[in-house]
């Protein structure tokens, strides 16, 4: 069995946002307090992560005990997804554990250029791979449009009887880009707003409403929304989404059958 744990479920700015006067940020309901996005994947033998959020240290203290990831898969090299890397490297050093950062080579190059001092850490390995295998899954990275912010990668886990994917930052996908994510057992997809009216060329992540619309094509058995901004009041919005969909929250565990 694979267990997922959402370590962080907010967009780049976190919730509450600094100095924001909106009701979600002011009320600070537990259900709406979110840190930047990371996911732990617990397999039989080992734990791996997707992304290393700026809140990685806090997330480790809250949720991880002694289970340090032996590998981290990166979706893309934006601050909200990679800036826990230094903390991860220090954790490996402190615990004398080996770890690998895995992502397509363009992302690995960007990350290494941003953190040149981490290139020579003996316990930290960088691997520019678009395919990989772990436990029961073949892991593949698929480039997706990230709108105004460029591109990122959706990560797909293909098992014998169960296939799922994590697509944190994507918008306005072409037919070609959407293809690998059709008919999944589980799609974890990033959003930001409930409904976003700004012109498409200025945007970078799907709204919840748009994801529900493209689900006519995606046909996912289950959808989990993550990467949620302060626009999403989970308490209010959870009543308005279909039964096969749900909002993630920090610390949420989700068991996969395989």
Q: Give the footprint of Zn ion on this chain (CB under 5 A).
A: 12, 78, 80, 169
Nearer to Zn ion, 70 or 145 (CB): 145
Distance, CA of 80 to CA of 157 (rounded, Å): 22
Task: Identify the three-state secondary structure at position 64.
Answer: coil
Instruction: Give the nearest distance from C-beta 110 to Zn ion in angstroms.
Output: 12
Residues 6+ apart with CB under 8 A from 24: 15, 16, 32, 230, 231, 232, 233
Is 104 exposed, middle or buried, given 0-12, 13-18 or 19+ CB atoms closer than 10 A? middle
Q: Minimum Å distance from CB 232 to Zn ion?
A: 14
Measured from the CB atom, is 169 or 231 closer to Zn ion? Answer: 169
Query: Shortest Cβ distance from residue 198 to Zn ion (Å)?
Result: 16
CB of 120 to Zn ion, least distance (A): 28
Closer residue to Zn ion in complex, CB, 12/186: 12
∠ CA 210-216-220, nearest 5°, is 95
| H helices present in the chain, as ranges | 23-27, 56-63, 79-82, 85-95, 105-114, 175-178, 208-218, 234-237
- End-to-end, the C-alpha distance of the chain in Å comes to 5
Q: Cβ closer to Zn ion: 77 or 92?
A: 77
**Closer to Zn ion at the Cβ: 68 or 173?**
173
CB of 247 to Zn ion, least distance (A): 16
**For Zn ion, which is the closer residue by CB, 12 or 223?**
12
CB of 150 to Zn ion, least distance (A): 8
> Burial of 243 by CB count in 10 Å (0-12 exposed, 13-18 middle, 19+ buried)?
exposed
Token representation of residue 32: 């709406």
Decide: helix, strand or coil at residue 201: helix
Question: Smallest distance from the beta carbon of 36 to Zn ion, in angstroms?
Answer: 8
Residue nearest to Zn ion (CB): 78
| Nearest residue (CB) to Zn ion, 12 versus 228 | 12
| Three-state DSSP class for residue 229 | coil
């Amino acid at each position: 069995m694979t267990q997922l744990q959402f370590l962080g479920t907010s967009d780049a700015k976190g919730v509450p946002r600094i100095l924001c006067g909106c009701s979600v940020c002011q009320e600070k309901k537990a259900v709406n307090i979110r840190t930047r996005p990371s996911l732990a994947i617990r397999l039989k033998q080992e734990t791996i992560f997707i992304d290393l959020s700026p809140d990685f240290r806090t997330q480790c203290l809250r949720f991880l005990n002694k289970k340090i990831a032996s590998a981290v898969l990166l979706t893309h090299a934006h601050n909200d997804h990679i800036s826990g890397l230094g903390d991860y490297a220090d954790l490996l050093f402190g615990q004398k554990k080996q770890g690998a950062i895995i992502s397509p080579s363009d992302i690995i190059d960007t990350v290494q250029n941003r953190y040149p001092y981490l290139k020579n850490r003996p316990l930290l390995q960088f691997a520019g791979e678009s395919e990989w295998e772990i436990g029961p899954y073949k892991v593949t990275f698929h480039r997706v449009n990230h709108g105004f912010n460029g591109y990122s990668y959706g990560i797909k886990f293909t098992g014998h009887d169960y296939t799922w994917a994590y697509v944190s930052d994507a918008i306005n996908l072409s037919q070609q880009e959407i293809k690998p994510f059709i008919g999944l057992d589980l799609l974890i997809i990033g959003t930001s707003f409930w409904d976003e009216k700004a012109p498409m060329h200025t945007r970078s992540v799907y709204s919840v409403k748009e994801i529900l619309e493209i689900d006519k094509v995606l046909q996912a058995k289950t959808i989990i929304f993550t990467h949620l901004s302060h626009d999403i009041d989970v308490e209010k919005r959870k009543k308005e989404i279909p039964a096969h969909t749900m909002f993630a929250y920090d610390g949420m565990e989700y068991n996969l059958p395989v």
